[in-house]
Amino acid sequence: MFNWTLIDQIIINGLKEDINNIDITTDNLINDESISEAYMMVKEDGVIAGLSVAKRVFNIIDNKINVTFNVKDGDEVKKGTKIAYIKGKTKSILKGERLALNLLQRMSGIASISRKYKELVKDYPVRIVDTRKTTPGLRILEKYAVRIGGCHNHRYNLSDAVMIKDNHIKATGGIKEAISKIKDKIPHTIKVEVEVDSIEGLKEAIKAGADIVMLDNMGFKEMEKAVEIAASRVILEASGGITIDTLVDIAKTGVDVISIGALTHSVKSMDISLNIY
């Protein structure tokens, strides 16, 4: 599921950020022998994602902490559901609490909104994908949460695929020039995506050999025309300012993919608490 080497580094960096030297409160209040039991409870409805990551936080701090779950990633949960139980040294639980919750809450918030988007277009043959508008350092976790919610991933980073955007086109001298130049330099296994903002740009990108064309901030009627012109010769991706209110109308145009930065860049974290009992 995860490259744990990368995840562990995220967690270790998070712990370094949260505990500079000692936990001045916990280390001076709680003795080393104290054992506690705690539970995590969701305080709003949503979709859970990141349970194994939260568990990993506690186990990096103390590998003797026992964490068990009542749910699994992808489950829809109701407010008040106890999703996990934790038992171990009180000090260790308190030191891991904040980071474990921060990651779990963030990932669950992303999974929850992704599920809403997916359900809205379930009757249309379109794929909802994320973007690179992620929290620096957390991309692998946030893109995982998107998948748990039922949507899909766009490229992970700039090395994954060619995407020729408006500034590339301006700097190169045009769509045809950009596609020709990039195809001369990349392996045949790499697809080329080009961003356009007009029907004329779409026609030029198709003629020049693009594999995917991103329709940037086009209106519904213009997208419908683009679908007709493309005639399945290229994958069409709608992008730019897409909201939950416009999603279905865009899906109805017949585009293949809808990319939505809001899946990760402006998500509200799910409210989850940890309570010792």
Question: Catalytic residue positions?
Answer: 98, 133, 165, 195, 216
Question: Using only C-alpha atoms, what is the Rg of the chain?
Answer: 23
Q: Is 239 annotated as a binding residue?
A: yes
Return the SS3 of 127.
Answer: strand
Q: Is 261 annotated as a binding residue?
A: yes
Residue 30 token pair:
């709680």
Q: Is 98 annotated as a binding residue?
A: yes
Whether the CB-CB separation of 28 and 89 falls below 8 Å is answered with no
Q: Is 241 annotated as a binding residue?
A: yes
Q: Is 240 annotated as a binding residue?
A: yes
Which residues make beta-bridge pairs with 77?
A: 46
Q: What torsion, rounded to 10 degrees, do the Cα atoms 114, 119, 120, 125 define?
A: 100
Phi first, then psi, for residue 256 (nearest 5°) are -85, -35
Q: Is 132 annotated as a binding residue?
A: yes
Q: Is 131 annotated as a binding residue?
A: yes
Distance of CA 191 to the CA centre of its chain: 22
How far, in Å, CA of 65 to CA of 86, rounded?
Answer: 7
Q: Is 115 annotated as a binding residue?
A: no
Whether the CB-CB separation of 276 and 93 falls below 8 Å is answered with yes
Q: Is 254 annotated as a binding residue?
A: no
Q: Is 147 annotated as a binding residue?
A: no
Report helix angle 4-18 to 139-149, nearest 10: 120
What is the torsional sign of CA 142, 148, 149, 150? positive
Q: Is 262 annotated as a binding residue?
A: yes
Q: Is 133 annotated as a binding residue?
A: yes
Residue 54 token pair:
């939260």
* Binding-site residue ranges for substrate: 98, 131-133, 155, 165, 195, 216, 239-241, 260-262
* Binding-site residue ranges: 98, 131-133, 155, 165, 195, 216, 239-241, 260-262
